[in-house]
Structure 1
Amino acid sequence: MNRRTLERHLQRLDGFADPRVEFEQYPTPADLAAHLVHLAALQGDLDRPVVDLGSGTGVLALGACLAGARTVVGVERDAAALDTARANAARLDLPHDRLPDWVRGDATRLPLCVDGATRPDGTTRSDDTTQSDGTAQADGVTVLSNPPFGAQRGNEHADRAFLASAAEVATVSYSIHNDDSRAFVESFAADRGGEVTHAFAAEFDVDRQFAFHTDDRRTLQTELFRVEW
């Protein structure tokens, strides 16, 4: 699936019905999500199991499914967001065996057992070692994440905990961070034996959704990083 088609599908998804400011719940824009997922597909990183840390309403997880990932797990602590993610998955009319596994939990408190994730019907994907085209899944795990930027008081450096989780479980991770984060991400990855292989500037559109917002829409300058761990 090309990037434009993927973006059109993701534009159909609902955002947070009642966003929680303490979780910095801002929906990942469809164009940015499509760019991230398309890059992961081009790099072959969707050939391994995918984990969306802090999956929110499911944009990145569902984007990975649409782009061909065989095994996708979304981890989110907000039950209401998970309900929206499940509804979004139903809207896309994905085959049953291509639906993400949704896990309610704290993405910063791992480990995860990805191979044992449970489907809604009670079965697991432990034996799913091949993709729909008959090719074998790659070893390891790919993490996708749009972590909180740590802009709210008491939530400073929140993205650090998400990177730490990625370092624990990922072979490769993709994550979105505030502008001017490259030195921090490179240093954080290097301290854990990782390396930033790709870095892109990206615009992140935020619509008015909290009382303290003064603009109907604001465009944030962000950066997208691919890290090999």
Structure 2
Amino acid sequence: MPSRRAVARRLESVADFAEPSPALEQYLTPPEIAAHVAHLADLQGDLRSRTVVDLGTGTGMLAIAAACFDPGRVVGVDVDPDALALARDNAAAVFGDPPAADALQWVRGDAARSPICAPDATVLSNPPFGAQRGNRHADRAFLETASEVGAVSYTIHNEGSREFVEAFAADAGGTVTHAFRAAFPIEHRFDFHEAESRELAAEVFRIEWERS
């Protein structure tokens, strides 16, 4: 099993969006957070020989991190075809040889209505934090899909989301088993950003979903 630090180093070659969409809140998931999530998922037995679905894959960061731990298959889902093209290129850059990169599948689709049918999947997601008008509670749709698609999910949320996530999980027949804070650095990229960079406090949750 690769170490968390080794995976984070490999993920440093993942390229960011050249022209990110503010409406989709396209931000690069930090390599350290992605490595932490994937390493924890592997320790919990949620990756090896399992189907992994990365909802709103963006640059492919979480999908690529999961692929470092020998899962059954990894599927990255995103509504933006340019993001999927970037994710595919990033996978090739990280793994080098085409067979490893080709083991990841990239599917265009709305993360709120995932086209993937895999009820025992492990779902990974860094959903929009809802910073943009019209995107409030956008993470709810991702959790809804995770509860329908996955047996277990790992999602990244804005700080202060624990009460909401735990309540949602309980209503949907799920249980939060792990929660931890993570630093989420944001570089200046949109006109409405006032600072050159800032660090957001994020929270990561692992949820086990009951399957009927």
TM-score bin (small chain): over 0.9
**Equivalents in 1 of 2:23, 2:198: separation in Å?**
19
Describe how 1:30-179 pairs up with structure 2 within 5 A: 30-47=31-48, 48-92=50-94, 93-94=96-97, 96=99, 99-114=103-118, 140-179=120-159
Structure 1 match to 2:30? 29
Structure 1 residue ranges without an equivalent (≥5)? 115-138
What is the alpha-carbon distance in structure 2 between the residues aligned to residue 186 and residue 111 of structure 1?
Answer: 26
State the secondary structure of the residue aligned to 1:5: helix
Structure 2, unpaired ranges of 5+: none
SS at match of 2:147: helix
Runs of 4+ in structure 1 off by over 2 angstroms are: none
Q: TM-score, normalised by structure 2?
A: 0.93
Q: Are the equivalent residues in 2 in contact too, given 1:52–1:145 (CA < 8 A)?
A: yes
Residues 168-193 of structure 1, C-alpha deviations (whole Å, 9 max, x = no match): 01100000001111110000000011
In structure 2, which of residues 185, 201, 205 is the aligned counterpart of residue 205 of structure 1?
A: 185
Q: Which residue of 1 aligns with 2:20?
A: 19
Amino acid at match of 2:99: H
* Partner in structure 2 of residue 122 of structure 1: none
- SS of the aligned residue for 2:113 comes to coil
Give the Cα separation in 1 of the matches to 2:166 and 2:132.
Answer: 24
Partner residue of 1:217? Answer: 197
1: distance between equivalents of 2:151 and 2:75? 15
The separation in 1 between residues aligned to 2:207 and 2:97, in whole angstroms, is 29
Choose 1 or 2 for highest CA Rg: 1
CA shift, 1:97, in A, is 5.5
Deviation at 1:67, TM superposition (A): 2.0
**Greater share of strand:** 2
Question: Match for 2:170 among 185, 190, 196?
Answer: 190
Match of 2:3 in 1: 2
How far apart are 1:113 and its partner, in Å?
A: 2.9
